[in-house]
Structure 1
Amino acid sequence: MKKGMAWLAALMLILVLAACGGTGQSAESNGESDSNATASEELVIKASNYKFDQPEYHLKKGVPVKIVYENTNGNHGVLVPELNLQLDTKHSSKVITPDKAGEFEMSCSVFCGSGHSSMISKIIVEE
């Protein structure tokens, strides 16, 4: 009986881990696209310990842009949920086409230490 419960618990753990292991990257119907689109511009975002290289980055609405992430010091990432953008050292670039203007908060997606919560910048999408 104990052996059967152990197998059941192991199987459940494997299923949970498999469900969490997906990349979650797909083209959304809200105007954002994946790397299959051709970018007419490129934006490089650099991160070092507890800061991004610029306080804000500017993009144009409706213009495809390849966003490239560079980690210059420490272990960091980029997260902008409203633009369906998440980059790190493993997935360091993505082409997006912003479909709405506005200011979007960009934060570090990898816990990097005591200054992690203050590692914030903005992406501003202009008309």
Structure 2
Amino acid sequence: MRKTIALLMLCVLLTLASACSSNSNSAASTEAQVKPEAELVIEAVNYEFDQKEYRVKKDVPVQITFKNVEGNHGILIPGLRVQLSGKKDSVVITPKEAGKYEIACSIMCGSGHGTMVSTLIVE
């Protein structure tokens, strides 16, 4: 009886885990096999990105590449579900909704970490 309950609980947990890990997002889709039509390079130095604003086109596959020039940084674009750092420094996405998306440093980098933000504009 205990084995049956344990097996049932395991099945429920696996079902919940697979449901929580689904990657459906209307703002952008991440594609491993899609060839990018544009490239965006975001560079980080201590407490700032190389630009205040970056621009990409809606519905155009873009390869976003992160370059850490100075310090220990990463980038997070929550609205597009993008997180890049030294371990994973590039991703191809197709933004599906126009708008402004905040880019922030994803690694606690020191006293200027809280002000290390930029904007990605999808046109």
Q: Which structure: greater strand fraction? A: 2
In 2: Cα distance, 1:68 partner to 1:28 partner: 22
In 2: Cα distance, 1:44 partner to 1:99 partner: 20
In 2: Cα distance, 1:77 partner to 1:25 partner: 22
Percent identity of paired positions between Structure 1 and Structure 2: 49
Residue 43 (structure 1) aligned with residue 40 (structure 2):
yes
Q: 4+ residue stretches of structure 1 with deviation over 2 A?
A: 24-31
SS of the equivalent of 2:119 reads strand
Residue 54 (structure 1) aligned with residue 51 (structure 2):
yes
Change (3 A) 1:57 1:25: farther
Residue 101 (structure 1) aligned with residue 101 (structure 2):
no
Residue 28 (structure 1) aligned with residue 28 (structure 2):
no
In 1: Cα distance, 2:113 partner to 2:100 partner: 21
Among 78, 92, 108, the alignment partner of 1:81 is 78
In 1: Cα distance, 2:86 partner to 2:94 partner: 22
Change (3 A) 1:25 1:91: farther
In 2: Cα distance, 1:25 partner to 1:44 partner: 28
Aligned length: 104
In 2: Cα distance, 1:103 partner to 1:91 partner: 23
Q: How high is the TM-score relative to the length of structure 1?
A: 0.76
Please list the CA deviations of residues 93-113 of structure 1 after superposition, one character each: whole Å capped at 9, or x if unmatched. 000000000011110000000
Taking only aligned residues, the RMSD between alpha carbons, in angstroms, comes to: 1.9
In 2: Cα distance, 1:48 partner to 1:108 partner: 10
Q: How high is the TM-score relative to the length of structure 2?
A: 0.78
1:26–1:34 CA contact under 8 A, matched in 2: no
Q: Which runs of 5+ in 2 are unaligned?
A: 1-16
In 2: Cα distance, 1:92 partner to 1:43 partner: 12
